[in-house]
Structure 1
Amino acid sequence: MLTTEVPAREELVRRATDLVPLLSSKAAWSEENRRLHDDVIEALADAGIFRLRAPRRFGGFEADTRTLVDVSAALARADGAAAWTASVYWIPTWMACLFPEGVQEEVFSTENVRICGTLSPTARATPVDGGITVSGKWGFISGALHSHWQVVVAVQIGPDGQPAPVMALVPMSDLQTIDDWHTSGLRGTGSISTVAQDVFVPAERVLPLGAVLQGQHASPANADSPVYRAPLLPVASASSVGTALGLARAAKEEFLERLPGRKITYTAYEHQAEAPLTHHQVAEASLKIDQAGFHAHRLADQVDTKGAENSPWTLEERVRARADMGAVCRLAKEAVDILADASGGSSIYNNVAIQRIARDVQAVNLHALMHPDTNNELYGRVLCGLEPNTLYI
């Protein structure tokens, strides 16, 4: 085992920022080929981005969620697909740290291991001697093409006849992939589908999803680490929001970079920067970006604080974590939409980044777990004294 000195947050953000020129240069290729360029994966690995959520004893950094927000926001300045894929890897990597020590030793023996996954129980699990067999299909598996393992969720029928979802770790070599990622946004993530056909999973690589959602795990070695003490959904929420925030910041940078010398066609404004309308648009978008940053960092700070204190989560805190995530997505999209609408007809060309940013932030908002409307309804439902209508809190 290896214990690594953990870089400070500022150092990790600097590393991510240093990758901006490379990621920018490969963004068009990644979008066209519907997967991240191999050079991007190598650069992210070299910068330690894939080790942020791995345990220190395996060479990881055990970074807090505030660091995840700031790192992914920095990456999204260049390419939302790269930032999103890195963020997605962090969540199943964290989930892998809930399994028994022997499983972790196997998984983290691969340097810069990449683990993809999903929480959707779109497969069935059948008990067999020594474990389970899994059959089914999972969609939207971001980063699958560059992954070593996948966290899968399947439904197992218990002895009482009741369905019980389980979470399992499966090597990518045991799965088939389907090249079906033909989308308008986040094209570079390569979020293809994966398929299992009677894949055997040993019992030590299977955990009940219900226990995981409640913050229970089978890793005594990680039980005392603040990073692994939070419930799954707040962790996943905080891990995801940096991409949306970074996309909004990228849209503002792109707009202001193109602003000098631009005019408003068919008007008397020879310089768009002189138009009062432009002033209102930039101000409104900037304030929305600031608000998105507030919700992103409030969410991350709550996850980190409660992990450090090892204090229980109330129901309201859990659903507010999802509401904060939804607020970041909504505000980021609103800011991007304002700036994209103000960017003129020339912005629809493929070589102008803001059109890709707009499509990427829309894709983030349409994600089932991140959709602002879904998260607002859940938060309001609990605030009104009703029980949550989902297990994913």
Structure 2
Amino acid sequence: MTTTAIPTADATIDLPAPDLVARAASLREVLRQHAADGDQGQVAAAAVERMEAEGLLRLTIPRRYDGFEATTRTLADVLVELARGDGSAAWSAMLINIGNWFTTTWPVQAQDEVWADNASAKMCVILNPMTTAERAEGGFRMSGKWAFASGSYVATHAMLGFLAPQPDGSLRHALAIVHPGDWGIERSWYPMGLKGSGSDTVVVNDVFIPEHRVQYFEDMVDGELLTELKDLEPATRAPFLPKGTIIFGAIQVGLGKAALDLALERMRTKGVTGTVYTESRNSPVHQLAAADAQTKIDLAELLMHRACRDIDESAAAGELLDEVIRARVRNDTGTIVTLVGDALDQLMKAAGSGSYLASSPLHRIYQDALTGGSHAHATPQVGKEVYGRLLLGADGGVTVHV
């Protein structure tokens, strides 16, 4: 296996390849055509192959492994465009790219083991500690099951949360990188929406995890990362949870834009039953709905871009993002879910009963948005609570990591 030579030159911030967002946009029709194939539990192989061919599953891999080392803004904008084509494809790409980015914060030895001989290796990730490992010489032994492993069907590696016994008898939340052959998939994902995201259950049976493949969750939240390249690769310095949270908002924005395109097209020609309007485009009720929905989706995208700017500026400066701003990103992600959800509700009603038919693309988008908006990192009320606590200086600190 080849290994990385740790660079010594001063770090610089370079923009990623300028056409990445355009590459994602160019796949919109292909992803739409294959969207229904995902109802069997996985995004169609043809769609995955196109995303891979365009490099859209290597966005966050370091350039030293032939990745793009993309900024959060670029990642989010790519996800928006993919979601305009198919929510499940975008969701899978989101989790693979964020799993890859998490991996960049590990020691170089662990990164080399993932990418040095396979620049296309992909990491699925489940942060929740679903098992308690056993201490072993030089690491841990681990068994367990991890549900909701989105994108696991295309992943080569898995990053899994577990409770790590400490010398004083306590347990700490840790994350382990599990290699090919040491984990399997149990079919368990039968949802209302995002049916093709392959969010099945990862199974591990008595696998040894060496110490260098383990990081502690709270250390990562606090910016205490194990990579030796933190000072040389600014992308690794992005705040851990905010970067891993705002991406859920990007999926919502993309789904909102997809619904808006379809609903406006439909409203320009369909009539309004029981009224004098033979075309919805001339109906004031539909004009107001279109304007309101467009504005809410625009506001959602503006919040997403503000969060991305905060995250990327923090990474460039090498300073941990202020806790209040980190909480704002969590809150803004939930607000994006609310704004897009409200816009979708208006668009579905304005576009007419046909939008609710199972054969309608709007129906698929609506279900994908509802399912994606239920993710723990996107739940609006949790974001409001933690942000409000910090704004008011409530006793006891935060109730959820940000």
The change in CA–CA distance for 1:361 and 1:388 in structure 2 (over 3 A counts) is farther
Q: Deviations over 1:6-31 (max 9, x none)?
A: 8756400110011112111100111x
Q: Distance in 1 between matches of 2:344 and 2:299?
A: 13
Q: Using the aligned pairs only, state the percent identity.
A: 32
Name the residue aligned to 2:373.
365
Equivalent residue number for residue 69 of structure 1: 76
Q: Distance in 1 between matches of 2:305 and 2:268?
A: 32
Can you list the C-alpha shifts for 1:241-261, whole angstroms capped at 9, x where unaligned? 211111101110010122232
Match of 1:164 in 2: 172
What amino acid does structure 2 have at the position aligned with 1:81?
Answer: S
Structure-1 residue corresponding to 2:262: 254
Look up the SS of the partner of 1:173 in the other structure. coil
**1:11 aligned residue:** 19
Find the counterpart in structure 2 of residue 85 from structure 1: 92
How far apart are the structure 1 equivalents of 2:352 and 2:195?
Answer: 24
Residue 341 of structure 2 aligns with which residue?
A: 333
- Distance in 2 between the 1:323 and 1:7 partners? 28
Cross-structure match for 1:46 = 53
On the 8 A contact 1:9/1:67 being kept in 2, the answer is no
Unpaired segments ≥5 residues, structure 1: none
> 1:7–1:301: structure 2 CA closer, same or farther, 3 Å change rule?
closer
Q: Distance in 1 between matches of 2:54 and 2:186?
A: 30
Matched, 1:267 2:275: yes
Are the aligned partners of 2:290 and 2:347 in contact in 1 as well (CA < 8 Å)? yes
Q: What secondary structure is seen at the aligned counterpart in 2 of 1:145?
A: coil
Q: How does 1:220-235 map to 2 (within 5 A)?
A: 220-235=228-243
**In structure 2, distance between residues paired with 1:8 and 1:163:** 40
Question: How many angstroms does 1:48 deviate by?
Answer: 0.7
In the alignment, structure 1 residue 213 sits paired with structure 2 residue 221: yes
Amino acid at match of 2:401: Y
Q: Which residue of 2 aligns with 1:55?
A: 62
Distance 1:346 1:391, change over 3 A: closer
104, 111, 118: which one aligns with 1:104: 111
Q: What is residue 392 of structure 1 aligned with on the other side? A: 401
Q: Which stretch has the larger CA shift, 331-340 or 232-241?
A: 232-241
Say which of 36, 42, 53 aligns to 1:35: 42
CA 150–390 in structure 1, closer or farther in 2 if over 3 Å, else same? farther
Aligned-partner Cα distance in 1 for 2:70–2:245: 15
Asked if structure 1 preserves the Cα contact closer than 8 Å seen for 2:139 and 2:211, the reply is: yes
- Partner in structure 2 of residue 380 of structure 1: 388
In 2, Cα distance between equivalents of 1:382 and 1:167: 27
Q: Structure 1-normalised TM-score? A: 0.95
The number of aligned residues is 391
Distance 1:310 1:71, change over 3 A: same
Kindly provide the amino acid, as one letter, of the partner of residue 52 in structure 1: L
Cα distance in structure 2, aligned partners of 1:392 and 1:39:
38
Counterpart of 2:376, as a letter, is A
1:141 to 142, 149, 161: 149
d(CA) in 1 for partners of 2:34, 2:58 = 22
Question: Once superposed, what is the RMSD of the aligned Cα atoms?
Answer: 1.8
Describe how 1:266-285 pairs up with structure 2 within 5 A.
266-285=274-293
Conserved 8 A contact 1:255-1:343 = yes
CA deviation vs aligned residue, 1:228-286 (integer Å, no higher than 9, x gap)? 11221011123332111111011100101222321122333211111111011111101
Please state whether the residue corresponding to 1:264 is helix, strand or coil: coil
State whether residues 92 and 151 of structure 2, in contact with CA within 8 Å, keep that contact through their aligned partners in structure 1.
yes
User: Shift of the alpha carbon at 1:130?
Assistant: 2.1
Q: Runs in 1 of length 4+ with deviation above 6 angstroms?
A: none
Deviation (angstroms), 1:159: 2.0
